[in-house]
Amino acid sequence: MAAKDRIIFALDVGDLASARKWVDTLGTSVGWFKVGLELFCAAGPEVVELVTSSGIRCFLDLKFHDIPNTVSGAVKSAVRLKAQMMTIHLSGGARMIQAALRGADEESARLGLPKPRLIGVSVLTSLGEDDLPSVGVDKPLEDHVSGLVSLACGQGIGGIVCSPADLPFVRPLVPRGAVIITPGIRPQWSETGDQKRIATPSSAIAAGADLMVIGRPISHAPDPLDAVKRIVEEIEAVQG
Ligand code: C5P
């Protein structure tokens, strides 16, 4: 995979005009743009169309989590937006995951569109080991994450989001056909910000990440294009 295709730029802005500026600036330099809840709630499906119609692949990170029928419907709507990847919460359970996968299959076949890759989110990294009992989980975090990842991989999920710190135990559970996506990436030359469990691009790739979500190290850099170039060079150095 080309180094630039491993970079998902987090489009963490609050309106369509700002999104358009980033499309114009970085559109040909990174592989993907991530559209999350803030931007989607502000700008709606139009922002996904802005990204995909500019020839950039869209990672729609809305973390669907609802009853199977509703999630299936949401996935079908997202297929029609032509997002190439989208997230679901694995804690929705086996029937919800199945419904999401089936929804993607059915709608893409019905419309003759490429099938998007469904990406599973296990446990939010904002939840720590101490928080798990309050949501009814009485086992170590690592066991809980491993259980959800194994469940999803057994059902044919297209990929998993995880912290770079979790790669040592997540990577062996994920078949090569599925991708692992890690946020929390900080090149050595960038500010840490509010991210705690971080990794450099090269160490994340070396530990088995396929794709990386990177926001502020690019958007807050004095020269965002130069920041992307340096990240690409760092990835190339490790993947050869
Ligand atoms: O700016 P930064 O590189 O920290 O952006 C990271 C992106 O990844 C943000 O969009 C953030 O919401 C997302 N993310 C994260 N940590 C997680 C999951 C998602 O930072 N555990």
10 lines ligand 1 (CB under 6 A): yes
Selected residue with higher pLDDT from 127 and 118: 118
Name the least confident of 143-152, 163-172, 175-184, 187-196: 187-196
Euclidean distance between CA atoms 188 and 207, whole angstroms = 17
The closest of 204, 203, 148 to 180, measured between CA atoms, is 204
Mean pLDDT for 7-28 is 97
Contact 119, 160 (CB under 8 A): yes
CA 69 – ligand 1 centroid, Å:
28
Mean pLDDT of the chain: 96
pLDDT band at 213 (very low <50, low <70, confident <90, very high): very high
* Residue 4 annotated among the catalytic residues of the structure: no
Atom of ligand 1 lying closest to residue 36 CA: 10
pLDDT band at 17 (very low <50, low <70, confident <90, very high): very high
Of the residues 63, 76, 115, 139, only one is catalytic, namely: 63
Torsions phi, psi for 95 (to 5 deg): -70, -35
Q: For residues 61 and 64, give the distance between their C-alpha atoms in angstroms, rounded to a whole number.
A: 8
| Ordered domains of the chain (ranges, CATH) | 3-239 (3.20.20.70)
164 lines ligand 1 (CB under 6 A): no
The candidate with the shortest Cα–Cα distance to 10, out of 63, 45, 59, is 59
Residue 155 pLDDT exceeds 90: yes
Q: Which residue has the higher pLDDT, 51 or 192?
A: 51
Q: Which atom of ligand 1 is nearest to the CA of 185?
A: 3
Ligand 1 centroid – CA 142 distance (Å): 20
Distance of CA 219 to the CA centre of its chain: 17
Reading the block at residue 197, the tokens are 């469990």
